[in-house]
Amino acid sequence: DAGVIQSPRHEVTEMGQEVTLRCKPISGHNSLFWYRQTMMRGLELLIYFNNNVPIDDSGMPEDRFSAKMPNASFSTLKIQPSEPRDSAVYFCASSSGRGGEQFFGPGTRLTVL
């Protein structure tokens, strides 16, 4: 199994641009999570899906952030427009629904100039 796949691994963009982060969960996992990690705020859960349906988006910082999961093998996190304070590492994780163990992807390091 390839594990959770995220792309791109690094993204540098200018303030105001749209950014789309992508995630492919482990095959057979039915839950998907988006996290953001910064030095100041640590690891934050942004949103999670169960069977492709958003269950809890209370961690999404503001309307500039949106996430979709059109099918069981793909999810996107979009920031539009991006701001310098969005600079962080964004992790995607998936879970099979048994016991709660989550498997993390390698992350996308986002830098907004």
Partner 1 sequence: AQSVSQHNHHVILSEAASLELGCNYSYGGTVNLFWYVQYPGQHLQLLLKYFSGDPLVKGIKGFEAEFIKSKFSFNLRKPSVQWSDTAEYFCAVNDRGFQKLVFGTGTRLLVSP
Instruction: Give 38 or 80: the residue with its C-beta nearer to partner 1.
Output: 38
* Beta-bridge mates of residue 23: 6, 75
How far apart are the C-alpha atoms of 41 and 30, rounded to whole Å? Answer: 28
Stretch that binds partner 1, among 13-21, 38-46, 68-76, 77-85 (CB under 8 A): 38-46
Give one word for 41, left, alpha or beta, with left for phi > 0 and alpha for psi -120 to 50: alpha
Cβ at position 31, least distance to partner 1 in Å: 4
Closest Cα to residue 85, out of 46, 48, 45, 41? 41
Q: Is 12 in the site for partner 1 (CB under 8 A)?
A: no
Q: Per CB under 8 A, does 105 bind partner 1?
A: yes
Q: How far apart are CA 103 and CA 112, in angstroms?
A: 27
The footprint of partner 1 on residues 50-89 (CB under 8 A) is: 50, 55-56
90 contacts partner 1 (rule: CB under 8 A): no
Does position 107 interact with partner 1 (CB under 8 A)? The reply is yes
**Which sign does the torsion angle of CA 107, 108, 112, 113 carry?**
positive
43 is a site residue for partner 1 (CB under 8 A): yes
Write out the residues near partner 1 by the rule CB under 8 A: 31, 33, 42-43, 45, 48, 50, 55-56, 91, 93, 95, 97, 99-107
